[in-house]
Structure 1
Amino acid sequence: MAIPVPLTHERGTSKSPLYLPFLSGFYEHFAQPLAWVAFRAVIGGMLMIEGYPKIMAPMAQVGFVENLGFHPGWLFSPLLAGMQFFGGALIALGLFTRPAALANGVMLAITLWFHFAFPYGHAFLTDQGIAALKGGSEFFTPAGVKRLADGGTLFLEQVQTKAELASLFWMGGALFFAAFGGGQWSVDRNIIKREF
């Protein structure tokens, strides 16, 4: 789906807002549709990657979804797996894009809330654990000692921030496609010729 370029009218003529107006056809017919496909592939592909382990073990999330208040877990755990993996594939293809993206956008909003409500914690190690680590042990690699020297506080803060940002990015991307559809080079638009 090409985003229309607004035209300004001067003395009855149309003037392109582009510095290089001769590129308008390139942008409209190639660059914009390609960017739409690339972004769709990223959002859908990332959902598929995250959903693949859940598809391989569809009941593994029973306790997790029930702790979030979604009962019965035996229903919502495989539903979550299918929504992520197959919904991601639908988004990547541009097939039934809006409903697949909306379902995943809602799920990702819940995931974002979860990361804020249940952070990873302050540290891996207690003060005694830090003292034992600094005392020397063959159980830790030099990189592990460096990473855990503060008890893992900085590492957990980085993990927390990345989890929040990833959920925010995926949610924004999914809701973008829920609002605008799969774009000009989607299965919805080119094969089915209909969109939700």
Structure 2
Amino acid sequence: MSTPVDRNRLIVPEVAPLYSAGHQSVETILRVVAGLLLVTHGYGKIMNPFGAVGMVESLGFYPGVFWSPLLAATEFFGGILVAIGLFTRPASLAAAIVLLVTVYSHSIVKAEGLGGAEKSILWTTIFIFFAIRGGNSHSVDARLKKVF
């Protein structure tokens, strides 16, 4: 599926076909890469789901034995769901919430300010985008013809 581009508004009109054809594909690549990176970030946690108990409790999330496995599952399984585009919106929302906590952790708890939180802010924004936008036509959600 392509999105038409108004050639008259482009500085270089010859690139209009590239822009039109690439819209869905580029969005899909961003979703897949973001999901897979979340999976790799959660892999260590899923292998030891209680390994982050102290970390989550240091951020004020008690009991850590509840929050640590939830964090692991959100990152690992949520990343898989985002990557394949299944339950894209709820999985992305869960990832965005986790990442908002990392923004808080880096900027406030660790007192690193914007410099320490900038990657988390960027990742949060990406997952908020997919929480609102969904998985597009290149997703399992679209194949199921369901909007979650």
Flag whether TM exceeds 0.5 (same fold): yes
Task: Report what 1:169 is aligned to.
Answer: 122
Identity in percent? 40
Whole-angstrom distance in 1 between the partners of 2:4 and 2:127: 22
Tell me the TM-score normalised to structure 1 length: 0.66
* Structure 2 unmatched runs, 5+: none
Is 1:62 aligned with 2:47?
no
> Could you tell me which amino acid in structure 2 is paired with residue 195 of structure 1?
V
* Structure 1 unmatched runs, 5+: 8-14, 122-156
> Could you tell me which amino acid in structure 2 is paired with residue 17 of structure 1?
R
> Could you tell me which amino acid in structure 2 is paired with residue 27 of structure 1?
Y
Task: Report what 1:20 is aligned to.
Answer: 13
Match of 2:85 among 94, 118, 136: 94
Task: Report what 1:71 is aligned to.
Answer: 62
Tell me the TM-score normalised to structure 2 length: 0.85
Say whether the 8 Å CA contact 1:2–1:183 is kept in structure 2: no
How many residue pairs match? The answer is: 147
Say whether the 8 Å CA contact 2:59–2:109 is kept in structure 1: no
Is 1:81 aligned with 2:72?
yes
List 4+ stretches of structure 1 deviating above 3 A. Answer: 1-5, 15-19, 21-24
| Structure with greater contact order relative to length (CA < 8 Å, sep ≥ 6) | 1
Whole-angstrom distance in 2 between the partners of 1:114 and 1:2: 40
CA-based RMSD of the aligned residues comes to: 2.6
